Amino acid sequence: MKAAVITSFGNPSVLRVSDAPRPDPGRGQVLARVHAAGVNPAEILARAGAFHLQAPAIIGFEFAGVVEAVGPGVDEDLVGKRVAGWPDSATQGSYAEYTVSSNYTTIPDGVSFEDAAATVIGADNAARALGLLHLRAGETLVVTGASGALGSAAVQFARHQDVTVIGVASEANADFVRSIGATPVAHGPGLVGRIRAAAPSGVDAALDTAGKGLLPDLVEVLGSPDRMVTLADRDAARHGVEFSAGHSGNRDHRPVRKALELIAAGEWTTRIGRSFPLADAAEAHRLVATGHTGGKVILIP
């Protein structure tokens, strides 16, 4: 199969398409023909060598595709079904024509492979983080990175719980943030004042998905870090804020399925910034590294 195989970790140009062995589905796994792979900030780090993965490596931590074959213990009826989920291995990932997975959900009719792939990591992490905040209908939540994959999923799940959302993003993304149901507030100096002006009755909780040093401002708005979670700021402990890390043990395909159903019903927006053929994986990585993608970046193997 064709795959973007990393033989040594480093700058984006290490992502080179070559032939690689097609994986076999093991017990509990499906073999999926990948039709779309989301490109994530974590993959920028992985490609640069931060995760100390073993080379040769095929990265890509979310996918959408069609089940080609199943391993022992998996219902044969899944063959031919459209699924989205997580590859089981960080080095047998979705920047490839095929990947193997035991954690996936079926894709409802009417949802594209691009939208499905773009929803997996965002919906899962957003739902887990929101669960930690114990939000109640009528409360007000600040979400930073509201224009991003995780942030826009958090905004939409919170709105479905009748929570009022202030969405922090760049000015250029204000219309998108408004379109998914949040009140847009621009990041940059003066953020505390702008959030207070947008939420005159106060803010109950905050979810940081930007990881750009906004925690002190959010603590100031809330008065304490008690109802704050960050998915992205490694300085969380210094500010008394909970960091929520996703890993293979806590991935949940149910919020992914929920988001995909809402897409099918026309009640959820997954914004695609740009799609690239697999051969342009390096270019896709350069775009994601800017931190301002204008929507999810997708690779089409």
| Contact flags string 163-182 toward ligand NAP, x per CB under 6 A | ------xx--x---------
Amino acid sitting at position 136? R
What region, left, alpha or beta, does residue 188 occupy, with left being phi > 0 and alpha being psi -120 to 50 degrees?
left
Query: Minimum distance between the CB of residue 36 and ligand NAP, rounded to whole angstroms?
Result: 15
Alpha-carbon span 173 to 176, nearest angstrom: 5
Q: Toward ligand NAP, which CB reaches closer, 82 or 296? A: 296
Q: Are 99 and 81 in contact (CB under 8 A)?
A: no
Q: Which of residues 95-154 bind ligand NAP (CB under 6 A)?
A: 121, 125, 144-145, 147-151
**Which residue in the block uniquely carries the two structure tokens 């890993």?**
247
Task: Compute and round to an integer the Cα radius of gyration of the chain.
Answer: 19
Q: What DSSP string describes 163-207?
A: -EEEEEE-GGGHHHHHHTT-EEEE-STTHHHHHHHH-TT---EEE
Residue 211 within binding range of ligand NAP, rule CB under 6 A? yes
Residue 299 within binding range of ligand NAP, rule CB under 6 A? no
Q: Which of residues 221-250 bind ligand NAP (CB under 6 A)?
A: 231-232, 244-246
Residue 26 within binding range of ligand NAP, rule CB under 6 A? no
Residue 187 within binding range of ligand NAP, rule CB under 6 A? yes
- Out of 102, 103, 270, 293, point to the residue binding ligand NAP (CB under 6 A): 293
Binding site for ligand NAP (CB under 6 A): 40-42, 121, 125, 144-145, 147-151, 169-170, 173, 187, 209-212, 231-232, 244-246, 291-293
